[in-house]
Structure 1
Amino acid sequence: MTEFNEFISVMDLFYLPLVGSKFTWSNATGDSMSRLNRFLTIEGLIEKWSINGQFMGNKVISDHCPVMIGASHLDWGPKTFKFFSMWIGHPNFLPLVEET
């Protein structure tokens, strides 16, 4: 644990704040809770992606809550066009292409 903490310090990493709850895990009865899941990041990434924190989802399958990073203004660039060859076999495909 000491070596991991030293690594965090040397790499200048820090934990993003968790919005909405203090804990990411709880047992079935809810009498034992812990914050097990965390994101480590660097300050430059926070600024570049406009990250505004970690957000917890609801437990669905596991006893862990999913944790997501929230970014307010992230530009992923243009979306790529995808073509699936199965479309050619559809009876309306060629008429739609010709019409368009």
Structure 2
Amino acid sequence: MATRQTSSSGKAKSPRIQVVLPEDLCQRLAELAELESRTVSNMAKVLIQQGVERLEQAPVPPDPRTQAELQAALFRQGLEARQDQAPQRLRGAPRRVRLHRPG
């Protein structure tokens, strides 16, 4: 959870978080911040806001357990529907099966 600090005037400061970044990502972030005349901290805040907004607007992928349960239910219904039908005869004469033994 983010920590909230108090300023010397007694007002609450914005919550703070601490993030550990790989060097190459930190360098890229610093370069982006410089291009937009921002501090690295402010650039990180802007990018986090954009990412959170994008994720909130993205459709939620279906829960795989729910999908699996739905597929199982549909399969079960299909089997139960076939069970009520009269059995069908196999077409053609039975074929001789040869077993090949490794030798």
Question: If the length of structure 1 is used for normalisation, what is the TM-score?
Answer: 0.22
Higher normalized contact order (CA 8 Å, seq sep 6+, divided by chain length): 1
Larger radius of gyration: 2
Considering fraction of residues, name the structure with more helix.
2
Question: If the length of structure 2 is used for normalisation, what is the TM-score?
Answer: 0.22
Considering fraction of residues, name the structure with more strand.
1
